[in-house]
Chains A and B, each alone.
Chain A
């Protein structure tokens, strides 16, 4: 252990076993105070951790431990599949008394980043928000910017948009089913879901060139037209589209173990769901027939025939069934779109750097997780003045402290998987 310069007194050797032993002996001998938990053996001092009392009412309620209660941390690294999120659970034995999600591990500052980017560049920045439903992430800003610029996308572009958006919905819901089963211990459905996703992603890569972060939408339309490769892959996919979904269904839906673990679990009533801002399949599984495509139609959805599906019970099983039903509905929509697609241009000509008149625009779409909306303000310059995205996963996470108390720690993952948050969207 040779040092040439004066060592920083706060940072010692990483594992200084002799010092550890020496401290322990000193404490035993009564020559030094007993070391505090966790700080002494790290090899350096955590300088001045502020001893922070709970500041808000909710914190006080959450972090006050009674007899027999324990704080358990399901940390940002855990083998469950939702991304980096931390759940601090206050448990008594195995029963959860309270739970607090801690977010921000994937925060990239996309909203602020978009304030320095031109309108076209913004569409590439929003892709990795909710990375499992990328087309939806781009769809809402595209609509909002079209309102700001006062342009309308040609009809063929709208049809192509609806097509890729519904394809995206199919594989996003398929993945949710796989993740739900994986969190319960069934290791096979996730692979079938990924086969499904792989086929669709190959399809979408034929039209957009990318497999995950499709940079496909433009203000005023889409970037490329449908090509032969896409059409042939679409035909192939279509013929076996339902197979992996029904395979998964057969594995999961009537499985007694799965039903015993999900029925009655995390039941959310319709009123609670609306109150907490839950939207999308979770809301419809609680019985509220709210679907942005019907409630405030955008794009070409007024021309397509479909109905809003709901389930009655609002528990994990209902959310699972809701997503299966929506996959089938999306496939039906894809059929209609393919039948009706008109000819025409796919992009309205919009200058690369456009300076729209000052104004405000709000656009909301139905993403696989709920109501995804964009509120954009322009000040006449080339960049948006304020670009705000409302992500549905973020808001849906608020129901965790409502649903979890009373259940066991092992059910946390099941309920989380059924809410289907994607951390990219939650943390922006």
Chain B
């Protein structure tokens, strides 16, 4: 009996269970933040009846979505129609596996964690495509194709900008990246002019947040690939979007802002169980700060038009991310970083 193996499997099962349990409450919290922050910026109250200060509003939204009638268009492809929301949600949930919460509290610390993360996130594209196609609605199909095009185009600058960080660190594993930041300062400063802004813009486009949310715009002609979905199926898409927001913020924090490390005056990392709690605290603080910024952007900015969006991805972000890559590589070789 290999006790280490059993311990490893047990830890893995525990971690994945916790993560799966974590996704829905995360979505609820992010939605609640969005409701209240947008309301505050628009000089109004926001939900304030359900629970103290309206705190349970998003939870009730979740239950409402469960209670709605589940309709499938008559001539939709039932199997694909059913699978599409699962794919999108699974992409979000699976990518939670490598999110570095605290030292030693990563569910699965792969040595190729970064690659795994972006690969799994790309699964949501497939889910959207299938959703658009399976709805038997030409507007959904067009919307699905557009959103797939948008997400695929922005994946390239997204991943290329991360390669700069990887070159600096010399490893693809998240814990190694954070350890490098502990030693050398946060990657933000190393990647400030190009890497981080590109990553930020591309991440917003990747998760379809304003200003890049043309596909789910209300005043657009079509409601996008989710038109025919109702009830819990729509709920999956809806929650997946907010979980993806959380995950993307957390990865940004991990890659550029030190992950679980505390900022300068505080000690970067403590050890033992207190160290885990300390890391979790700083991690969540930073992640929710970025979630707040994303919501802030949503309140303030109008939408970018689809063709301008794609133009930006291919004509601006892609060359800039390549330049960033070369410059980082040159700097690493020249300065022996």
Residues of A within 8 A of B (CB): 72, 74, 78-81, 94, 181-188, 191-192, 195, 251-252, 255, 257-258, 260-261, 408-411, 413
Contact = CB atoms under 8 A, between A and B. Distances in A.
B217 interface: yes
B43 A185 contact: no
B330 to A, nearest CB: 31
User: Quick one: which of A78, A79, A186, A413 has the most chain B CB within 10 A?
Assistant: A186
Given A188-B41, A257-B304, A261-B302, 7 more contacts: A184-B303, A185-B303, A188-B299, A192-B43, A255-B301, A255-B302, A261-B308
Given A80-B219, A261-B305, A185 B42 contact: no
B43 A257 contact: no
Contacts of A410: 214, 220-221, 305-306
A181 B302 contact: yes
B307 A408 contact: yes
B241 interface: no
Interface in B297-337: 298-308
A195 B43 CA distance: 9
Contacts of B301: 185-186, 255, 257
B2 interface: no
A251 B300 contact: yes
A249 B26 CA distance: 36
Contacts of B218: 79
Nearest to A185: B303
A411 B305 contact: yes
A185 B219 contact: yes
Interface in B4-40: 38
B211 A187 contact: no
A191 B210 contact: no
Contacts of A74: 221
A72 B221 contact: yes
Contacts of B213: 185
Contacts of A183: 219
Nearest to A186: B302
A257 B219 contact: no
A251 B301 CA distance: 8
B42 A257 contact: no
Contacts of B306: 94, 408, 410
Contact of A260 (B210, B298, B304): B304
A408 B305 contact: yes
B132 to A, nearest CB: 16
Nearest to A187: B299
Interface in B257-291: none
B309 to A, nearest CB: 10
B302 A257 contact: yes
B49 interface: no
A74 B221 CA distance: 7
Contact of A185 (B41, B221, B302): B302
Nearest to B139: A72
B44 A191 contact: yes
Contacts of B304: 257, 260-261
